[in-house]
Amino acid sequence: MAGDFNLMKLSTEVEVYASENDLAPEEKKLLDHAKLAVTRAYAPYSNFHVGAAILLENGKIIEGNNQENAAYPSGLCAERVALFSASSEFPSVSVKAIAVTCKVSSVVITEPVTPCGACRQVIAEYEEKFGKGMRIIMAGETGKVYVCNGINQLLPLQFNSKQLKNK
């Protein structure tokens, strides 16, 4: 039995582009980098190859891809490989955008790939660190492309450092 409550309805926004060719040139270019990164993914266990590319505020583009391991949980998603790489090389430069895409050998993926929960949490961390949202561009091999303006669209009610009152 429910007690006495108010219902808080949350809504999020996703920009839907019919094809990658409809993206703004800067975002199309970033997706091209993610597509290149897919080709270097190390995914012998899932055969699900993911590529990510990050556009930094200084114009640099950092690529990453999923890195799997025979001890499965030791692997890492493309988004986190790219974000950690960017943060380790340019710790004080904020992230403007991240693009992610995927490829498998057996079929053509026509739906956008969307970041897993752990990657959303890591995106939230860097948005919070720099006080700045990032564009999140999500694509399959073909078909429509989703773009979200900031992680709040993908991770509402997020946990972040503001809640760590000991900070």
Query: Does position 48 bind ligand THU by CB under 6 A?
Result: yes
Among 68, 83, 86, 98, binds ligand THU (CB under 6 A): 68
CB of 140 to ligand THU, least distance (A): 12
| Shorter beta-carbon distance to ligand THU: residue 100 or 147 | 100
Among 30, 38, 50, 99, binds ligand THU (CB under 6 A): 50
The DSSP secondary-structure symbol of 48 reads -
Q: Give the Å distances, CA to CA, from 128 to 63, 69, 146, 149.
A: 21, 30, 22, 14
99, 72 in Cβ contact below 8 A?
no
List the strands of the sheet with 135-139, edge to edge: 15-17, 145-149, 135-139, 95-103, 49-56, 61-65
| Shorter beta-carbon distance to ligand THU: residue 115 or 133 | 115
Binding site for ligand THU (CB under 6 A): 43, 46, 48, 50, 66, 68, 75, 77-79, 100, 113, 115-116, 119
